[in-house]
Structure 1
Amino acid sequence: MASPTTSRTAMRFLFRAAPAFRSKAPRTATRCLHEKATPITASLLQHRPTFRQWHQKMPSSGASLGRRTMFIQTEATPNPDALKFNPNQRVLPESISSQFLEYLTPRSTLAPPHPSPLAAKLLNIDGVSSVFFGADYITVIKDSATPWAHVKPEVFAIINEFMVSGQPIVNTVQDHAGESGQEGTELDSLAYDENDSEVIGMIKELLETRVRPAIQEDGGDIEFRGFHDGQVLLKLRGACRTCDSSTVTLKNGIESMLMHYIEEVKGVQQVMDQEEEIAMKEFAKFEEKLKQQKGPNAAPSTVGKGSLDYVEG
């Protein structure tokens, strides 16, 4: 015969496992013995919020997250200090006739005729030295002392913020003082001009169809500065402006092609701005000083006057 303890355990198990055996009479609870019994009814106000109610109060974030997410592709350039960012949408407004805008100083991002809030923020990043806007890409150039690991994440965040928020990348204001703060604000130098001679027209056509696409792929652009005494004067922009192999590109690529198709062309020269010429002269002095310290058998540098990467305008 089973003990009373075993019977009570079995009954308790059956009572918990079979709810049908329970009494269906409404259960009541009292606050204390001297108060009148008051049934505790199920009220929505007395229950904690369920998961479903809390989920409904959350904003439907699916669409908003989709609008705030953007795919920005990066491309390496021949210049190790320049990186090309492709946001897969137009960067320069169609109202700007130039193919590019280049911002070399923080002041240029605020000056007319095309101040840029995006360029101002990018140049505010430690290590960024210049910003170049193409029609549908952005090239960021840094100094050689700062690694990309410190610069790239912040550049990504700033470009993404502008693209998804709809903020203007470039503004256009009237230049009352006649001072241009950006490079490339004039008309496209390779555009057709009815006043050009036949030779200049051919030079522009070759530069536009054969040279410019390749340079734009590398995150830069090219300007035609003139044709004098058989010499084609060109100005490289963007990533190509500070690239160590820029002169190699001019001599081995552009010059050879132009001389092959146009017999009047005798050579190509890279035009430098006044600031760049001063910097190159100072660098040449520094190189000469190092050469004297190391001795006459020291290997020459790849930049500086007299080297492959220097062409006087």
Structure 2
Amino acid sequence: MSHNEQAYLDLCQTILQKGNEKSDRTNTGTLSVFGHQMRFSLQEGFPLLTTKRVPFRLIASELIWFLRGDTNIQYLLKNNNNIWNEWAFKKWIESDSYKGPDMHDFGNRSQQDPEFKALYEKEMDNFKAKIIEDDQFAKMFGDLGSVYGQQWRAWKTSQGDTIDQLTQVIEAIKTNPDSRRHIVTAWNPEDVPSNMALPPCHTMFQFYVADGKLSCQLYQRSGDVFLGVPFNIASYALLTHLIAFECNLEVGEFIHTLGDTHIYTNHLQQVNTQLDRTPYSLPKLKINPELTSIFDVEMEDLEIIDYKSHPAIKAPVAV
């Protein structure tokens, strides 16, 4: 059994046994613990969970989106990635431009009412098609504001300049590997209240170089343990691999530190299903050795090898 995956399964068990019942922004309800840390040895294998299928393609295309500094879901949809749809869709249905049927609280209603679900899916398909085909519509409703990509690559300063945090941290790792300042932050207090579709959950990450290996620690203020955290683990493991590749280093550890660590109450059955499964061995990640810069990475430059998993487990997204 992988110690990496067991760290995640132990977290699920801890929340089920010790979690506090809490209300939340989405009115779904959660079981929550505060302050938890998991460690993943990237030498052991790539931490893509095996107790349910986790789609690496979605993780990779989202990370590429971040690396490019993009904040519009048009790129994601063109790559068949629907991770961020709900937040952009919410922006559209709450605008004066939307003339369709009432879609309020669509996340919960679509789980409870089959007739509404069919209506919602029709509206969502219409929305996605418009985002892909109509650049002006995408500009109006596909952009999520100053989310991760912009904060990583074009942090706005009080002087009106921008800071490319990711480029700077890569250069610092290459030239001053022992620095304690290899930090990228996505939490911009000025943008959080008014200019982000969703305030960043993974707020800050730091790199550490020792023995020729690159490690990364993420601080995540809020973690949806069933749906979101498996993606976050794999995404930051992939980021660590890519930065190590860029800096000619091996990979070390990914350390995942979480604040409000929660399971939504409408995910409890799914979590228990996952806990009943036995993990398989972890897969391996292969990066195209001819890649010259991680900022030019394409999907075909990344490959997951020997990934064996149990089937996917569906659950509603709380928006």
For normalisation by structure 2, the TM-score amounts to: 0.28
Q: State the structure with more CA Rg.
A: 1
TM-score, normalised to structure 1, is 0.28
Instruction: Name the structure with the higher strand share.
Output: 2
